[in-house]
Structures are given as C-alpha cells and as structure tokens.
Structure 1
C-alpha cells in the first residue's frame, strides 16, 4: 500500500508516536493522484537526480524514487529520519540527509554526489519558510535545472502575478528575475493530514542564465526592496526615502537615464525596468 493514503499515514504516525510539529509546518500529503500530478509537472524522468526538500514520512519520496534515477531527501526533523528509513527501505535509490536545507551547502553536495550535470528540486514547502528557501535556491550557484514547489496559494499568486496588480511585489520581481515561472496545479486543503487552513498551489521555476555581478544583484534588490517598501509612494519618493541613501536629485537623474517616469510606482514596473534603474545608478557611481 502506498504511503500517501489517510489510513497508511495515520498508521505510520501512530506506530512511531509522531506528533505534527506546527513550528515546522508539517502537513503530509495523503492523495496519490496529487503526488503523480506534481511529479509529472516537474518533468521527472529516469535520467534525473531529484533533491526533495522536506520528505516528511516519504509520501512523495516513494513515488519520486520510481520515476527518477536517484532521490536525495533532505529532512530537518530528526524524529522523522527513522520513519523515513523504514518506509523507504524497499527503495535502493534514495539517500536521506538530516539537515536544514538553508544550512546545506549545495555546491559541496554537488561535488560529493557527482551532480555536475545538474538536478531537479521537488518540495512541499512549509509556509513559514517558503521565501527564504526559494531565494536561496535561485541565488546559489548549484546546477539546479528546475524547482517545483508546493506553497501557499497566496504566495504562489504573488510570484505568478503581473505588474499593475495588487499581488505584484518584491518577491514577484526576485523570482522572475532568476527564473521562468509556470503554474502546475492548485491543491485543496483536503489532501493533507492535518488539513491546513488555506489552499496550496504548485509552481515550477526554471532558472534563467543570469549575467549580473554580485554587486549588481545587491544593488538591484536594494532598489526593489525600497521601491516596494513604500509602494504607495512614487518611485522618486520611495527610492529617495529608503535605505539606499540617495537624494531626490540623484534618484531623479537615474530614473530619467533609465527612461522611467519618476511619478510611477513600483507596481507599474517590469523586471527590465528595474534592471535599467540599477544600471543607471551603477553608471552614476563610476562617474
């Protein structure tokens, strides 16, 4: 019997006396069809190595191991490690690592596991740590070929949103700067144990080739953060009153050089608009 059924999941949890840890956002999938759809959306095949974040009791790990060449499952909860070792004992292409994904050196992992050709990330992410994990994956230098994550629907909608709408924000710009984003499916609360209070959504991010230097990235995100930090203000006012420390005259000059109307607001700008503003500020620094 598959792990991802209500009966099997409850039996496993009862056998080990495992209590859900709200602090870790533990909600386990109990619907095999949803798992199949997630893996299909991730495009996992027999030639792929998959890095799974937060395998829980192995509900999705089990199916991933049948589709992929190898699965490296990273779990932060020490109490779940013996459960995973038992529930997945019948699969010989799974490696379980007890670690916080935010503390795991993916470059080191690449070297030790022979992942130079790249790997795919698949995860059911806890809501509380969604943004840090996504940004850590996108900003790192590991050879990630795609990132397919199930996250809170509201957050996914922000990432998928277009400019000139309320949901559009700094996270939208950050994710779309680094990746092409695609919606896979919406997931109702009823397919989890315990049930979360909100719906989830699965998205896939395919990293883009990014030629920005480290300094350019830092400047760009500082601009985005200031612009959206006071999103009701015009760009002239938000960028001159934020953490960048630029005067209004300097901001006005940069916006004019970037051919951006100073009266516009952050939500009116696309990715390329922000990159032009960054370039204008960077060029001014050289003078």
Structure 2
C-alpha cells in the first residue's frame, strides 16, 4: 500500500502539535512538496535491496518517500525533539513499513560504523551547506559500504561539489569528493517547496563510488592525498612549483617531483584533477614528508540553510 506523504498543511500542523519552531542554528527548512521528495528518491536509484542512511530527516518528508520506495532507512537526527517525534509520524503514515525504519539522535559528524552494524549502501539526505562537505567526506570514509550518495544542498555548494578542474567553483571539496567517486549535478530545487521558505535555491548532487578504485583507499594514503590538495588550494593562484615548494623542500625539487608525475610545474593547483594529486604522491619517494597544513575552509556566500 502506498505511504501517505507529508504536504504543506500537514507539515505546519505537525510542527504545531509538538510546539516546534524551525531553528536557524540547525538551518531547518522542511520540504512539503511530494513531487520534490519523489524526484530525489528516484534520482538516488535506491530500491528494496538498499539500506539507506538518511542525514537530518527533520519531520520525515523524505523518510516517508524512501520507505515508500521499499528501502530500509536509518535516520540520524541531531535535534532531539524531531528524533523523538519521527517514529510516531512514520507509524501514522505507513503500515508495516515502520519495521524498516530506525532513528538515531546524534550529530552525523561523530557517527561511526560501530553504531550501525548493518552497513548502509546509500546516503540520501538534505544537508546544511555549512556541514555538507565535512559530513559527506566523513561518511564516505567511515562507511566503505556506501555505493551511492544523493544529497540536496545549497546551490552554491552543489556547484562546488560538482565543479571540474580549472573552473571558478573548483576547489578543495571538488577534488576530495572525487577521491571516492564520480560527482554529478542533478538539477535545482526552488525555495518555494520548503517551509519556512529559504532565500536561496538548492541543488541536487549525486556521488557514485568507484566500483574499483584506481588508487589505495586506506586512511593513511587518503590523508596524504588530502594534505596535497589542501596545500595546492591554500594559495590557489600560485603555480604548482611554488605551491608545493615547502612540501618538496625547494623550488627545483618541487619542479622535479611535478615533472616526474607528468605535471607541468607552471600549472596552478586549481587545474589539478584528483588523478594528478594521487600520481604526485605516488611518484614521490617519501610520502611521510607531507606536512599537516591548517584546514582550508572555503566559505560559501549566502544564507545558511538546512533544507530538509
């Protein structure tokens, strides 16, 4: 039997019934359009064989659509009020499907494999832009079982995640995400399908993990590649020769390492693809000289909005 999805009026009534007001600190904007959540679920490609990890289920709009698709869903919700209400909402709007659902009240950035012994195969979520990148990198590293990711984020973040080398939006998130898989945009979402209505558009992004990685995926190797990416974008307008000078030991040594990796030393870091960073590391004789630079934080201008 088809699950009854949440509409605009029901979203408002549900929030009122639990005396809940959206919190700007969590960027809480709730989807009330059934076509939008069906579109997200359809684009994710999940089916009855999938165990979906949903981040920030909110009032349950997307959760119900995932259950309607036949998937098992484990939802991680940081807000304790919403986490307590969600099982009741699922039970009220579905039947035996509630047996395929579990909610965990926790911050996704501290969520670990040990807390989810049944490994997830997919992530489907509406993410706030200010935690979107660290959340995705954390989940892809923590759960190798995840094959597909479909997320809705602020439009500017979607552009950065899917940007290609050399483009104005290409940066640290673009390169690091491609360490795990292929990244594609899946269109935009209007602010009018949310309550409250945000002042920004959202974008859909899908990540498909490589079936067979072309490079090692162990934590040590991954961190060293990520360190090189951070170095390259710390001063993105520098040539690669100058950007990697401190890492390599000197300008000449930097140029030699770059040439050994088939990289023109005059290229800027913003033109390097993930394959280039991996090759540079692999062709370097001593991986362990890579320093631990301060985290490079890319600020996305616009309203902080958690679109659910």
Q: TM-score, normalised by structure 2?
A: 0.85
TM-fit CA distance, 1:3: 4.9
Residue of structure 1 aligned with 2:132, choices 130, 145, 161: 130
C-alpha deviations, 1:60-85, integer Å up to 9, x for none? Answer: 11121111231111111001123212
Residue of structure 1 aligned with 2:108, choices 101, 106, 131: 101
Q: Equivalents in 2 of 1:141, 1:3: separation in Å?
A: 29
Q: Equivalents in 2 of 1:45, 1:273: separation in Å?
A: 35
Give 1:237's aligned residue: 242
SS class of match (1:95): strand
C-alpha deviations, 1:11-39, integer Å up to 9, x for none? Answer: 11111111111111111101110100000
Give 2:231's aligned residue: 226
Residue of structure 1 aligned with 2:255, choices 228, 252, 255: 252
C-alpha deviations, 1:77-101, integer Å up to 9, x for none? Answer: 0011232122112442211111111
TM-fit CA distance, 1:147: 0.9
SS class of match (2:244): helix
Residue of structure 2 aligned with 1:189, choices 174, 191, 196: 191
Q: Residues 72 and 256 from structure 1, CA distance in 2 versus in 1: closer, same or farther, beyond 3 angstroms?
A: same
TM-fit CA distance, 1:110: 4.3
Q: Equivalents in 2 of 1:245, 1:263: separation in Å?
A: 15
C-alpha deviations, 1:113-166, integer Å up to 9, x for none? Answer: 3x3xx5211100112110110110122244112111101111111121112211
**In the alignment, does 2:157 pair up with 1:155?**
yes
Q: Equivalents in 2 of 1:181, 1:24: separation in Å?
A: 26
User: Which of the pair has the greater relative contact order for Cα pairs under 8 Å at 6+ separation?
Assistant: 2
Q: Equivalents in 2 of 1:225, 1:279: separation in Å?
A: 17
Equivalent residues of 1:2, 1:8 under 8 A apart? no
Give 2:303's aligned residue: none
Equivalent residues of 2:51, 2:71 under 8 A apart? yes
Equivalent residues of 1:258, 1:276 under 8 A apart? yes
Q: Equivalents in 2 of 1:284, 1:221: separation in Å?
A: 12
C-alpha deviations, 1:35-60, integer Å up to 9, x for none? Answer: 00000001121222211111101111
Give 2:86's aligned residue: 84
Residue of structure 1 aligned with 2:181, choices 176, 179, 182: 179
Q: Equivalents in 1 of 2:169, 2:110: separation in Å?
A: 30
Residue of structure 2 aligned with 1:201, choices 203, 206, 211: 203
**In the alignment, does 2:265 pair up with 1:262?**
yes
Name stretches of at least 5 consecutive residues in structure 2 with no aligned partner. Answer: 290-308
Q: TM-score, normalised by structure 1?
A: 0.90
RMSD value, Cα:
2.0
SS class of match (1:177): coil
Residue of structure 2 aligned with 1:65, choices 64, 67, 82: 67
Residue of structure 2 aligned with 1:278, choices 278, 281, 302: 281
TM-fit CA distance, 1:227: 0.7
